[in-house]
Amino acid sequence: MKYLGLWRLGLLVVLHTCVASAQAPAKSVFVLFPGDVLTSIKGLTWEERPAGRRILQIFYDRQTRRELFRFTVGTKIDSEWLKWWRYGIVAQGDFNGDGLEDYSWYGGDDTSRESYVVISSPQGYRKVDIDATFERAWKRQYPSKEPEFGPLGRFTAAERIERNGETATLVATVKSLEMQRSRTYRLQVDDKSFVFADK
């Protein structure tokens, strides 16, 4: 009887561990800007077209041709059209765990840049302004410290998104110059504090 009781106790521990493991959400990590712009994206097609004094890059559902989201990639100054040197989607994955593809988008040259995460939602895709999100979070978490900026006046950061279940968290490694020494900080922003861009 003693051994039977121990066996039952061991079985309960194993079952409890298995249930807890099954209920724990799987953590996924996505690098937002791993390299070059993607030339082929599953489920998407896109085009560029002028709209007033802007050039738009518009993304559509490949099957329905419904517009999903758009970005400005150039402007007209006097009679000349100027566009970023490099722009487009650079990574994709299910960042928020809802079963739909999400994307990271980058546009820039030697004078300026913009970077976004495009997140699916019941209302359609929404654009998260990466720089604005991290800048606001930095001011809240480290109000007395100055971050180290890159050549374009933006954070020098390694950026990624981490997913636990259906919760997405933006993560950046940010440097700050203190007493002539560079110190590295881990900056985390959950999806309730994302800064969303206008259409």
| Confidence class for position 54, pLDDT limits 50, 70, 90 | very high
| 19 located within any domain | no
In contact, 165 and 172? CB cutoff 8 Å: no
Q: How far is CA 165 from the centre of its chain?
A: 16
| 68 located within any domain | yes
Locate 67 and state its tokens: 């517009």
Compute the Cα dihedral for 7, 13, 14, 15 and give only its sign: positive
Q: What is the pLDDT of residue 145?
A: 78
**Global confidence as pTM:** 0.79
| 11 located within any domain | no
Q: Residue 189: which domain range?
A: 28-193
Number of domains into which the chain is organized: 1
Instruction: Give pLDDT tens digits for 171-189.
Output: 887 776 665 666 777 888 9
Range with the largest mean pLDDT of 12-26, 61-75, 105-119:
61-75
User: Which residue shows structure tokens 């928020």?
Assistant: 96
Given a cut of 90, whether residue 117 has pLDDT beyond it is yes
Given a cut of 80, whether residue 91 has pLDDT beyond it is yes
Instruction: Give pLDDT tens digits for 152-174.
Output: 455 555 588 899 887 889 888 77
